[in-house]
Structure 1
Amino acid sequence: MAFEPQVALKDCRYSYKITPTVKKFTLRDNTFEVTKAGNYQLSRILEEVPNSNKGFLLKIIINSELNGFKINITDQSGLRLVNIFKPDGNKVIQEKFYFLMDSLVDRGIFTKEEK
């Protein structure tokens, strides 16, 4: 998946866009790690029950130029993409995703718009 300035996950209520004013120190302050390629990556496990280690892996990767990003939600192994937004999907995991993304919107990393 290529880096895009705006990402809309399948069946998600919102699309997210990287803000043009985001700074590298803001990413590091919000627990993004610098990869060997110079990109910024945030990894979180979306779990229904905290500390159960049973959930889905969320990865947000922002390119080194800070003008594109990608969001992947996979199974625990990180190999298979998962759609957590299916109509019969787990509401708790969806809420945790929206909470995390809202916190990144509040910190000026992303903007969101309803589809």
Structure 2
Amino acid sequence: MTKSKPVSINGDTRKFAISDEIKRYSMIDLGFKETNNKNFLYDHPLYNESPYNATMKFKVTVNAEMNHLTMVITDKTGLQKVNIFKNENLKPARELLEYMLRDLMEKQVIEEV
């Protein structure tokens, strides 16, 4: 498998890539959905108190060949990128993001490079 190009989340200094150990069933267990063009999409709300009134989303896409990764935080419409690292009021969202990233790394979907 070809190694994916390292990517970073808007505003974050770390870089991530697809793990060499990635497995389709691990992605399904984590909540990735297979799209019509066979890509895998993880679309999770980032919220302070309730996921029902979340103002942001964390989106991860892995292509069907599992060699291309995108990671982005957007507004709730999914159209505008949001930088949660520059606003101290968004600390709860950053903590939730850290939890999700740790889960993705533990299940060997992504790795920090």
Report the TM range for the smaller structure's normalisation. Answer: 0.7 to 0.9
Contact kept? 2:9, 2:73, Cα under 8 Å: no
Instruction: Please identify runs of 4+ aligned residues in structure 1 that moved more than 6 A.
Output: none
For residues 6 and 23 of structure 1, do their structure 2 counterparts lie closer, same or farther at Cα, with a shift above 3 Å needed?
A: same
Return the offset for 1:87.
Answer: 5.0
Question: Please, what TM-score do these two structures have when normalized by structure 2?
Answer: 0.87
Return the offset for 1:109.
Answer: 0.9
Give 1:110's aligned residue.
110
Contact kept? 1:39, 1:62, Cα under 8 Å: yes
Q: How many percent identity over aligned positions?
A: 24
Give 1:74's aligned residue.
74
Runs (5+) with no aligned partner, structure 1:
none
Deviations 1:56-112 (A, max 9, x none): 011100000011110121111111111111154511101110110001101111111
Give 2:5's aligned residue.
5
Aligned partner of residue 22 in structure 1, secondary structure: coil
Give 1:97's aligned residue.
97
Distance (whole Å) between structure 2 residues aligned to residue 47 and residue 15 of structure 1: 23
Once the two structures are superposed, the pairs formed by residues 8-87 of structure 1 within 5 Å of their partners are 8-87=8-87
Question: Please, what TM-score do these two structures have when normalized by structure 1?
Answer: 0.85
RMSD: 1.6
Aligned partner of residue 42 in structure 2, secondary structure: strand
Contact kept? 2:10, 2:81, Cα under 8 Å: no
Distance (whole Å) between structure 1 residues aligned to residue 21 and residue 79 of structure 2: 32
Runs (5+) with no aligned partner, structure 2:
none
* Structure holding more helix per residue: 2
Return the offset for 1:54.
Answer: 2.9
Please identify, of 79-88 and 55-64, the stretch whose mean Cα deviation from structure 2 is larger. Answer: 79-88
Q: How many matched pairs?
A: 110
For residues 27 and 54 of structure 1, do their structure 2 counterparts lie closer, same or farther at Cα, with a shift above 3 Å needed?
A: closer
Please identify, of 37-46 and 8-17, the stretch whose mean Cα deviation from structure 2 is larger. Answer: 8-17
